[in-house]
């Protein structure tokens, strides 16, 4: 196997709203470090400009706009800031056709993909117990057959720590995806014992 290219799962990375691929590469660095021996990551950036002001914490860390979105968000109705669900629903959404077209082109160049790394993560659902958007994000588990659902102690951010038991479940999930694609776990190795 020395002369063969190491088999890896191909993963597309999809950043959150009002960020960009550079931000998501930074946010997911620990995850990619742990799983980089068995996964290649390709980051797709949303084609639309975010309508909200840049997140100050990102600017303070040195990330530069433009910050992006996968949907064009037009005018917004005036609502109380505390009503998050109503605020999200109040945007006029456009541009899905452009996003799909760009993603198809990106997939032709970098795919096919075996999975997606999203914020929050899809298929494996990782949720921060203190996430103020938790009630909005858990709904999509209804549309996934038998998702692996793990939670961590932080809020609305990519996890910085997982319980050892949850990290083992996550590694087993990735191993099963690898076996599903390649027929065995030969060549599969994740050295990390802690997340």
> In this structure, is residue 189 part of a structural domain?
no
Q: What pLDDT is attached to residue 177?
A: 86
pLDDT at 93 over 80: no
CB environment 128-145: b (16+ within 10 A), e (fewer): beebeeeeebeeeeeeee
- pLDDT bin (cut points 50, 70, 90) of residue 152 is confident
| 195 located within any domain | no
By the 10 Å C-beta count (0-12 exposed, 13-18 middle, 19+ buried), 106 is classed as middle
Query: Would you tell me how many other CB atoms lie within 10 Å of the CB of residue 101?
Result: 11
Position 137 confidence tier, pLDDT thresholds 50, 70, 90: low
Does 75 have pLDDT greater than 80?
no
Please tell me the predicted confidence (pLDDT) of residue 90: 55
Q: What is the mean pLDDT of residues 157-182?
A: 89
pLDDT reported for residue 138: 64
Total number of domains constituting the chain: 1
Q: What is the pLDDT of residue 164?
A: 94
Q: Kindly state the tokens that stand for 75.
A: 């005018």
Distances (CA, A) of 48 to 55, 68, 70, 100, 171: 16, 5, 6, 12, 34
Band (pLDDT 50/70/90 cuts) for residue 1 is: very low
pLDDT tier for residue 76 given thresholds of 50, 70 and 90: very low
Within a domain: 192: no
The enclosing domain of 121 has a CATH number of: 3.40.50
137 φ, ψ (degrees, to nearest 5): -85, -25
* Domain encompassing residue 83: 9-182
Q: Tell me whether residue 158 is in a domain.
A: yes
Residue at 36 is within a domain: yes
pLDDT bucket at 102, cuts 50 / 70 / 90: very high
Tell whether 4 is covered by a domain.
Answer: no
Report the pLDDT value the prediction gives residue 77, as an integer from 0 to 100.
43
Residue that wins the pLDDT comparison between 4 and 193: 193
């Amino acid at each position: 196997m020395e002369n063969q290219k190491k088999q890896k799962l191909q993963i597309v990375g999809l950043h959150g709203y009002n960020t960009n691929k550079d931000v998501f590469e930074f946010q997911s660095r620990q995850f990619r470090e742990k799983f980089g021996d068995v996964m290649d990551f390709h980051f797709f950036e949303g084609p639309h400009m975010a309508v909200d002001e840049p997140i100050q914490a990102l600017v303070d860390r040195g990330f530069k706009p433009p910050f992006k979105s996968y949907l064009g968000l037009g005018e917004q109705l005036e609502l109380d800031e505390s009503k998050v669900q109503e605020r999200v629903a109040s945007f006029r959404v456009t541009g899905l056709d452009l996003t799909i077209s760009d993603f198809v082109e990106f997939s032709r160049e970098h795919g096919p993909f075996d999975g997606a790394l999203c914020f929050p993560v899809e298929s494996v659902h990782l949720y921060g117990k203190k996430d103020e958007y938790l009630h909005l994000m858990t709904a999509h588990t209804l549309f996934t057959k038998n998702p692996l659902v793990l939670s961590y102690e932080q809020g609305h951010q990519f996890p910085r720590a997982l319980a050892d038991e949850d990290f083992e479940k996550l590694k087993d999930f990735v191993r099963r995806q690898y076996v599903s694609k390649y027929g065995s776990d030969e060549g599969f190795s994740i050295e990390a014992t802690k997340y």
